[in-house]
Structure 1
Amino acid sequence: MKNKGGHSFQKQQIKLFSEPLYPYIQPNDLEIQLVQSKPLRRLKHLAHFGAGSLVSSVVHSRFEHTIGVWKLTALFFPEDMELRIAALLHDVGHLPFSHAVENTLQFNHHQLTEQYILEDEIASILKQFNMNPNKIIEILNAPSVITGNENILGIDHLDSFFRDTYMAGRIETLPKHLLHKIRCTSKGIETDLETGHYILRLILSDHKLFLSPHMVAVDRLLAESIKLHWSVDTVNKKDFARLTDSDVVSMLKASPSTEAKELINILLFAPNKIRINTAKTGNGYPISIRKVYSKVPLYKGKPLTEHSNEARKILEGLNQLSFDSEVLITSN
Structure 2
Amino acid sequence: MHTVNADTLGSEGVWVDPVWRVRVHLTSLERELLATWWVRRLAFVSHAGAASITTTQTYTRLEHSLGTLALVAHFAPDDHAARATALLHDVGHLPFSHTLEGIAGLDHHTIGHARIDELGSVLKRHGIAAERVIAIDAGEVPSPLRSAPGCMKLDHLDSFVRSGQAHGRTVIPPPEILASCRLVDGGVDTDAETAAELTRLVIAEARAQRAAPNVVPVAVLRSLVLDALTDPAAPIDPAALATMTDGELWSALLCAPSTREQARAFRRNPGAWQLLKHDDETADPKAEPLEHLIARGYLSLPTISGAPTTNSDVQVLERDLPARYRIVRVAA
Matched-pair contact (CA < 8 Å) for 2:10–2:26: no
Matched-pair contact (CA < 8 Å) for 2:273–2:331: no
Q: 1:252 deviation in Å?
A: 0.6
Q: Provide the residue aligned with 1:324 in structure 2.
A: 324
After TM superposition, list the pairs within 5 Å mapping 1:246-285 onto structure 2.
Answer: 246-257=247-258, 260-278=259-277, 279=279, 281=281, 283-285=288-290
Task: Check 1:231–1:10 CA distance in 2 against 1; reply closer, same or farther (3 A cut).
Answer: closer
Gaps of 5+ in 1: 1-8, 306-311
Matched-pair contact (CA < 8 Å) for 1:90–1:140: yes
SS state at 1:42 partner:
helix
| Structure 2 residue 134 is the aligned partner of structure 1 residue 129 | no
CA RMSD of aligned residues (A): 2.0
Q: Provide the residue aligned with 2:309 in structure 1.
A: 304
String of CA shifts for 1:147-197, please: whole Å, max 9, x gaps. 422110000011000011111111122211222210111141000111101
TM-score of the aligned structures, taking structure 2 as reference length? 0.88
Q: Provide the residue aligned with 1:101 in structure 2.
A: 100
Matched-pair contact (CA < 8 Å) for 1:22–1:68: no
What is the CA–CA distance in structure 2 between the aligned matches of 1:273 and 1:98, rounded to whole Å?
A: 24
SS state at 1:302 partner:
coil
| Structure 2 residue 225 is the aligned partner of structure 1 residue 226 | yes
Alignment-mate amino acid for residue 138 of structure 2: N
What is the CA–CA distance in structure 2 between the aligned matches of 1:238 and 1:22, rounded to whole Å?
A: 38
Segment of structure 1 superposing worse, 21-30 or 196-205:
21-30
Task: Check 1:199–1:18 CA distance in 2 against 1; reply closer, same or farther (3 A cut).
Answer: closer
After TM superposition, list the pairs within 5 Å mapping 1:73-112 onto structure 2.
Answer: 73-112=72-111
Task: Check 1:147–1:285 CA distance in 2 against 1; reply closer, same or farther (3 A cut).
Answer: farther
Q: 1:240 deviation in Å?
A: 1.3
Q: 1:95 deviation in Å?
A: 0.4
| Displaced runs of 4 or more, over 4 A | 320-323
Segment of structure 1 superposing worse, 19-28 or 44-53:
19-28
Matched-pair contact (CA < 8 Å) for 2:19–2:162: no
Q: Provide the residue aligned with 1:59 in structure 2.
A: 58
Q: 1:315 deviation in Å?
A: 1.8
Q: Sequence identity, in percent?
A: 26
Matched-pair contact (CA < 8 Å) for 2:219–2:292: yes
What is the CA–CA distance in structure 2 between the aligned matches of 1:23 and 1:263, rounded to whole Å?
A: 43
Higher helix residue share:
1
Gaps of 5+ in 2: 1-8, 282-286
Matched-pair contact (CA < 8 Å) for 1:105–1:223: no
Q: 1:103 deviation in Å?
A: 2.5
Q: Provide the residue aligned with 1:195 in structure 2.
A: 194
String of CA shifts for 1:258-301, please: whole Å, max 9, x gaps. xx123322331101101111236482011233411121111122
Task: Check 1:141–1:206 CA distance in 2 against 1; reply closer, same or farther (3 A cut).
Answer: same
SS state at 2:68 partner:
helix
Q: 1:235 deviation in Å?
A: 2.7
Task: Check 1:181–1:223 CA distance in 2 against 1; reply closer, same or farther (3 A cut).
Answer: same
After TM superposition, list the pairs within 5 Å mapping 1:135-214 onto structure 2.
Answer: 135-142=132-139, 144-214=143-213
Q: 1:213 deviation in Å?
A: 3.6
In the comparison of the two structures, how many residue pairs are matched?
313
Matched-pair contact (CA < 8 Å) for 2:76–2:144: no
SS state at 1:304 partner:
coil
Segment of structure 1 superposing worse, 143-152 or 220-229:
143-152
TM-score of the aligned structures, taking structure 1 as reference length? 0.88
What is the CA–CA distance in structure 1 between the aligned matches of 2:75 and 2:305, rounded to whole Å?
A: 18
Alignment-mate amino acid for residue 246 of structure 2: D
Alignment-mate amino acid for residue 118 of structure 1: D
What is the CA–CA distance in structure 2 between the aligned matches of 1:98 and 1:89, rounded to whole Å?
A: 14
